[in-house]
Amino acid sequence: MPSKIKILSPDVANKIAAGEVVQRPASVVKELIENAIDAGASRITIKVKDAGKSLIQIVDNGEGMSELDASLAFKRHSTSKIRSAEDLEGIKTMGFRGEALASIAAVSQVELKTRSIEDELATVIRVEGDVLKEKTKASMERGTCILVRNLFYNTPARRNFLKSNQTELRNITDVVSRMALAFPDVEWKYISEDEILFDLKAETLENRVKNIFGQTQFENLLQIDEVTPVARIFGFISKPNFLRRNRAEQFVFLNKRYIYNKMINHAVFQAYESVIERGMFPFFILFLEMDPRKVDVNVHPTKLEVKFENESDVYKTVLTVTRKSLSSNNLIPAVSLKNQNDNLDIQYRDTLNEKEFGEKLRLTGAPIFPLKPLEHLDENLFISAEKESDKIITSVDLVGKTVDTEEIRKEGMETETATGSKPIWQIHNRYIFAQVKSGLLIIDQHVAHERIIYEKVLSTFENSLPSSQQLLFPETIDLGVRDYELVKELLPHLVVLGFDMRLFGKNTVIIEGIPSDVRAGNERRILQEVLDEYRNNENAGVKDVRDNIAKSFACKAAIKSGDKLSVHEMISLIEHLFLTKMPYVCPHGRPIVIRISLEELDKRFGRT
């Protein structure tokens, strides 16, 4: 019986192997750029047509190849970068598998023009589906020019598998951007059809990041550079107020090679733990430099994934370095006290009359602010929990007991007239200054309250336990058609939120109860504002209905900038703020708290 197993012809074998390395035009671009980098090029030009489907051209000014090397280069497992299995242990080049050119040539029509410094003329080679079609000589400067035409012309299934030009071009742009980030000392030109997409001179990493991501984005980054026993880690991470809705902008390079590594991404994410909202991700560009023997880059055909000898060391190092940077930058945007003439008109006393105070009590809502009288309000009142190296404030310890409202009112007034010695002030009816152990906190009262209400509403939704204050007289509200339709759509959620209401037909609703954070009499205005805000958020891309309602309601029900607060209210606000999951960032991503450390103040006053 003839054997049913046959050894495949080299042609078929090559096509199969090519599938691993060459999946799309972007993979060709990546391999060819890597070759140019390995050849020591300081200038690389990439030109594509039809998103690389019909043409990819890469020109470099690297060391080039001799005639003999040029023909060997297309053989499978031909490489100048390693000699033995031991060499695999400490790879310093981008390539080493000796597969790229063979794989590319198996599925396209390739023309290579290359000249090394020793040769007078360049070698020109034409290869088509693996077969050498032509070899001639031509003149050119030192370097290599490679043209890849009609990718997958002989493997229609793969060609059909390609995505739209827009998508494929985006993939190529991603590859070029990553390479340009990893090699800022190289000059890059990237052209699609006849449009120049990148034209980057050799520059510093800082400028490269600016040029690729833009000045605004750059200003929201923190630069880091730490040398640790495990690795040198440098690059940029986003400030906590500049977060993204997806992971697309997370760049990790290991010894200049762009890699994808869940573990590293997680380590960075972990460092942001206390300042990041669910569904948000930090933007970062991190370069790890480490002994190549401590990592295996040969675990993935396209070398995208790597294996670290000691994963947990790398994890810890990345986490520590990132965390350190965040905390030494005070996690929150640094304050600038540049304008020396600014009169820091600190109010030691609030002079609210009793009526206003009572109103405020209702407005800020006892449910959110179970006010606590203060017994030991001294400078140690706010105790910042200093965790190891980082000084992230995680809790504020206030001493207090609950008393009835009448008592608070009386005591409140008294305490207020005696706040001169208390380490908390409201300025411009907008910001709260609080002295803490490590320095000074400045809190934006509106966004702080917004954060508190936001989290409260989310938990109300989660537990489906509506809390509503019944109105003495149900109110009938006439809404426009659009608003009526929106209320109809959101009704079940609004009811849980505490708007106890019924649809009455003819664009009319009847409200019988309101959320505990809404002051009676304001329900009409707040409902209207919530609906408007809901639409704004929806247009801005907030997809989740409940999240949107929580955001809109928090924004509209929160105390405003301009509202005067009593000391009790300020304390209560801060206390509740630090009970939230995310005291530092408001639901829209703006900072809530700015911290100025004593050291920072000392530095500015020349005390250190």
Provide the binding-site residues for ligand ADP, judged by CB under 6 A: 31, 35-36, 38-39, 60, 62-65, 73, 78-81, 95-102, 144
Structure-token pair, residue 534: 């809901």
Q: State the nearest-atom distance from the C-beta of 62 to ligand ADP, in Å.
A: 5
Name the residue nearer to Mg ion (CB basis): 94 or 557: 94
Name the residue nearer to Mg ion (CB basis): 93 or 192: 93
Q: Which helix (H) or strand (E) holds 190?
A: strand 187-192
Name the residue nearer to Mg ion (CB basis): 82 or 440: 82
Q: State the nearest-atom distance from the C-beta of 31 to Mg ion, in Å.
A: 5
Q: State the nearest-atom distance from the C-beta of 76 to ligand ADP, in Å.
A: 8
240 binds, among ligand ADP, Mg ion, none (CB under 5 to 8 A by kind): none
Cα 127 from Cα 134, distance rounded (Å):
7
The DSSP symbol for 563 reads -
Q: State the nearest-atom distance from the C-beta of 33 to Mg ion, in Å.
A: 9
Cα 147 from Cα 55, distance rounded (Å):
7
Q: DSSP letters along 465-493, please?
A: ---EEEEEEEEEEE--HHHHHHHHHHHHH
78 binds, among ligand ADP, Mg ion, none (CB under 5 to 8 A by kind): ligand ADP
Structure-token pair, residue 448: 């702080």
569 binds, among Mg ion, ligand ADP, none (CB under 5 to 8 A by kind): none
Strands 131-138 and 143-149, sheet pairing: unpaired
Residue type, 549: I
444 binds, among ligand ADP, Mg ion, none (CB under 5 to 8 A by kind): none
Name the residue nearer to ligand ADP (CB basis): 79 or 250: 79
What residue ranges bind Mg ion (CB under 5 A)? 35, 95, 100
455 binds, among ligand ADP, Mg ion, none (CB under 5 to 8 A by kind): none
Name the residue nearer to Mg ion (CB basis): 101 or 288: 101
How many CA within 13 A on the CB side of residue 400?
21
Q: State the nearest-atom distance from the C-beta of 390 to ligand ADP, in Å.
A: 43
67 binds, among ligand ADP, Mg ion, none (CB under 5 to 8 A by kind): none
Distance from the Cα of residue 366 to its chain's centroid: 37
Cα 286 from Cα 234, distance rounded (Å):
6
Name the residue nearer to Mg ion (CB basis): 38 or 533: 38
65 binds, among Mg ion, ligand ADP, none (CB under 5 to 8 A by kind): ligand ADP
144 binds, among ligand ADP, Mg ion, none (CB under 5 to 8 A by kind): ligand ADP
Name the residue nearer to Mg ion (CB basis): 35 or 384: 35
Name the residue nearer to ligand ADP (CB basis): 38 or 547: 38
Name the residue nearer to ligand ADP (CB basis): 79 or 211: 79
Q: State the nearest-atom distance from the C-beta of 143 to ligand ADP, in Å.
A: 7
Report the length, in residues, of the chain. 608
| Cα-based torsion angle of the residue sequence 60, 65, 70, 73 in order, rounded to the nearest 10 degrees | -80
Cα 351 from Cα 363, distance rounded (Å):
18
Q: DSSP letters along 85-143, please?
A: GGGGGG--SS--SS-HHHHHHHTSEEEEEEE-TT-SSEEEEEEETTEEEEEEEE---SE
Single out the residue of 276, 456, 423 nearest to residue 346, CA to CA. Answer: 423
Q: State the nearest-atom distance from the C-beta of 97 to ligand ADP, in Å.
A: 5
Name the residue nearer to ligand ADP (CB basis): 38 or 450: 38
The DSSP symbol for 411 reads H
Q: State the nearest-atom distance from the C-beta of 17 to ligand ADP, in Å.
A: 12
39 binds, among Mg ion, ligand ADP, none (CB under 5 to 8 A by kind): ligand ADP
62 binds, among ligand ADP, Mg ion, none (CB under 5 to 8 A by kind): ligand ADP
Ranges of beta strands (E only) in 193-320 are 195-200, 221-227, 232-238, 243-244, 250-254, 257-259, 281-282, 284-289, 295-296, 307-308
Q: State the nearest-atom distance from the C-beta of 53 to ligand ADP, in Å.
A: 21
107 binds, among Mg ion, ligand ADP, none (CB under 5 to 8 A by kind): none
What is the gyration radius of the CA atoms in the chain, in angstroms? Answer: 32
Name the residue nearer to ligand ADP (CB basis): 39 or 396: 39
Q: Which residue is nearest to ligand ADP (CB)?
A: 95
Say which residues have a Cβ less than 8 Å from residue 126's Cβ, sequence separation at least 6: 109, 110, 111, 112, 132, 133, 134, 135
29 binds, among ligand ADP, Mg ion, none (CB under 5 to 8 A by kind): none
Q: State the nearest-atom distance from the C-beta of 48 to ligand ADP, in Å.
A: 17
Q: State the nearest-atom distance from the C-beta of 100 to Mg ion, in Å.
A: 4
Residue 396 sits at the vertex; the CA angle it makes with 394 and 400, to the nearest 5 degrees, is 150
Name the residue nearer to ligand ADP (CB basis): 145 or 331: 145
Q: State the nearest-atom distance from the C-beta of 81 to ligand ADP, in Å.
A: 4
Single out the residue of 40, 30, 25 nearest to residue 301, CA to CA. Answer: 30
Cα 14 from Cα 104, distance rounded (Å):
10
